[in-house]
Chain A
């Protein structure tokens, strides 16, 4: 444990601000930091040069650094770390910070700043970093004195990783990096005001248990909060699901908390969720929401959302409760803590689910399942994107695999067709919907799991937004696999234009695409193209077996749409299936067309 020894040794020692940054990272157990140097962070880079504990991964764009750190954090449960310079370095990081805030990903992002005497002077590469990042971080700091630096560094890790996790920015002026001060190691400090609540209110949990025991048509609706809470929350959720026998669905961010092969699993819910998940949500009498936030992609039309149900909502963030949907039993606390108490109370009260009612409920759910809402028309001539994901799943499911995605149709198909069995295996930009997330995120995941198979399921439009990071993957020998479902369109934009704008495909066709095979080769990576369903398995196997970064150009049906879909302005029980595609235009109201 060299890192801890070094931390203890450095305690109370005089050093520069830049050295304190490294000492603190080391004391916090950080092994990897993603970054890009520049004038205002050179002292910290100099400190990096002089040590071995913290490995720096040079990216090609600061946005890539933040997404890589997000992938790293989400796949490990640790805090992701980033180091960028002032001005453009900081502003380029903003998209990643906002993404991490939306999806509650713990990050510590260190930005360089111009020397304190130049702050406010419109100096070269100066920007108001704390001002710009205030609304897109959980918290941020401008450190004006080296004496504050050790406390701020340790506090940042605590804030990023506790409560509802999120990104924290530490802006360090260059003179503070040079200044000497006394380093102190992380202590068991208590922040005066910041005390996240972990334990839920016992009376409310009891109320929830009683509601669950009386429920006739219950459903668990879980989200990213379960994943963020850690593996124990997942285990407890599975235990509670077993104990009750209730059906369970989850948001995009919650995939993997329940095994996709579990018979109680209904699939993802929401805008592109399954028929059975959304109908169960609509018709349930008791909804148990754990670590999800009633996002608008989930609820559809708010006033028609699950009209007859009593709603239990477990969330660590009080501001998530009663924000979009009024709930009956709010429980503020960490998912694992509350689940543990729920299970204990369920057992203690010798609660039994209403088996007769539950049997009827499952019969109804089986009828919904029989609609096979994810069905699509197969083809021997052209690769259907859904088929590509299914084959990718079949050929990788027995391996140690991590999946990241970009944003759009391919992301929804990945969520629908890739069967996740474990948490922390699925990295996607949910809240912000950031195209260009998947490739750098895969780099972060691969950095943390060198021996694993890491696949970015991508669209050809999204992946071009951060394509430069291929160079990072090659430099650091990270054999990520970029599996591009290439339909030559911004597919989700095209789908909405087809359904809402009379098929007028304004600017959604991606003209002049690069040759992805040649592009891969230009990066000294491997390029594979596949155009026929019959060749797909062989090509995927080839991709898996290459121990280098791969761009896989999977040429798919350009016209395929992502179904099921809850059209704009509609409720869960008004969702449309693929075979109903032709009637969709009539199904969307004029008002619905005004909205996203």
Chain B
């Protein structure tokens, strides 16, 4: 539908960007529901979400969200998050400067003979660790940027990939300063 409507049509002219947001929240009941409800209620995307308490004495948790949208929508997401009462701070890691983003995956591969050897060789090249091994299976632990993990999983697929468990992205800014 074109933009000739009284309910304004979606703006398609702007490019879609992926942003990683770090959000410091009070670790209290319902806080994750507030964040997720905001995203589903307003039609925002969540590509990845991780959460864990990071400062036990202050009961503060850090939520890392990878989201997609036009720059205007990303700005809205940050402002809407900031409006929630239990949220202390929202930082756009993608804009804030150089940062490191990692996720961890555990990858189960089943196989015998040559594919099994090939899987081990590739794991070595990717610096994935073997954390469980049986006569016909391995579980690899791999840490890295999302692309690296995607690549590793794609390589394991023809070699007998069974299942994958991933943490989602965690991120931190480079340098001496905290958020």
Tell me, yes or no, whether A311 is within 8 Å of chain B by CB. Answer: no
Tell me, yes or no, whether B33 is within 8 Å of chain A by CB. Answer: yes
Is the pair A142, B29 in contact by a Cβ cutoff of 8 Å? Answer: yes
Is the pair B30, A134 in contact by a Cβ cutoff of 8 Å? Answer: yes
Is the pair A569, B85 in contact by a Cβ cutoff of 8 Å? Answer: no
A322-B75, A323-B76 known; A569+B37 contact, CB < 8 A: no
Complex alpha-carbon distance, A595 and B82, angstroms: 31
Tell me, yes or no, whether A130 is within 8 Å of chain B by CB. Answer: yes
A556-574: CB near B (< 8 Å → 1, else 0) gives: 0000000000111110000
Tell me, yes or no, whether B87 is within 8 Å of chain A by CB. Answer: yes
Tell me, yes or no, whether B5 is within 8 Å of chain A by CB. Answer: yes
Is the pair A296, B6 in contact by a Cβ cutoff of 8 Å? Answer: yes
Q: Which listed segment binds B: A60-68, A189-197, A199-207, A370-378?
A: A189-197
Closest residue of chain B to A323 (Cβ to Cβ) is B76
Is the pair A139, B5 in contact by a Cβ cutoff of 8 Å? Answer: no
Most buried by B among A131, A303, A568: A303
The number of residue pairs between A and B whose CB atoms lie closer than 8 Å in the complex comes to 79
Q: Which listed segment binds B: A71-79, A173-181, A313-321, A353-361?
A: A313-321
Q: Which listed segment binds B: A22-30, A209-217, A586-594?
A: A586-594
Complex alpha-carbon distance, A481 and B141, angstroms: 73
Residue among B1, B30, B87 making CB contact with A130, cutoff 8 Å: B30
Is the pair A322, B3 in contact by a Cβ cutoff of 8 Å? Answer: no
Tell me, yes or no, whether A232 is within 8 Å of chain B by CB. Answer: no
A265-301: CB near B (< 8 Å → 1, else 0) gives: 0000001000000000000000000000000100111
B1-21: CB near A (< 8 Å → 1, else 0) gives: 111111110000000000000
Tell me, yes or no, whether A308 is within 8 Å of chain B by CB. Answer: no
Is the pair A317, B76 in contact by a Cβ cutoff of 8 Å? Answer: no
Is the pair A191, B83 in contact by a Cβ cutoff of 8 Å? Answer: no
Is the pair B33, A134 in contact by a Cβ cutoff of 8 Å? Answer: yes
Tell me, yes or no, whether B129 is within 8 Å of chain A by CB. Answer: no
Distance in angstroms from A272 CB to nearest chain B CB is 12
Is the pair A193, B6 in contact by a Cβ cutoff of 8 Å? Answer: no
Which chain B residues border A323 with CB–CB below 8 Å? 76
Distance in angstroms from A363 CB to nearest chain B CB is 31
Question: What is the number of residues of chain B that contact chain A, defined by CB distance less than 8 Å?
Answer: 28
Tell me, yes or no, whether B26 is within 8 Å of chain A by CB. Answer: yes
Is the pair A135, B41 in contact by a Cβ cutoff of 8 Å? Answer: yes
Most buried by A among B5, B8, B30: B5
Complex alpha-carbon distance, A319 and B74, angstroms: 11
Which chain A residues border B84 with CB–CB below 8 Å? 139
Is the pair A301, B75 in contact by a Cβ cutoff of 8 Å? Answer: no
Is the pair A594, B85 in contact by a Cβ cutoff of 8 Å? Answer: no
Residue among B6, B25, B26 making CB contact with A595, cutoff 8 Å: B6
Distance in angstroms from A140 CB to nearest chain B CB is 8
A296-B8, A568-B6 known; A319+B82 contact, CB < 8 A: yes
Distance in angstroms from B78 CB to nearest chain A CB is 9
Complex alpha-carbon distance, A206 and B83, angstroms: 26
Closest residue of chain B to A571 (Cβ to Cβ) is B4
Which chain B residues border A594 with CB–CB below 8 Å? 1, 5
Distance in angstroms from B90 CB to nearest chain A CB is 10
Is the pair B8, A301 in contact by a Cβ cutoff of 8 Å? Answer: yes
Complex alpha-carbon distance, A296 and B3, angstroms: 13
Q: B interface vs A, CB < 8 Å?
A: 1-8, 25-26, 29-30, 33-34, 37, 41, 72, 75-76, 79-80, 82-88
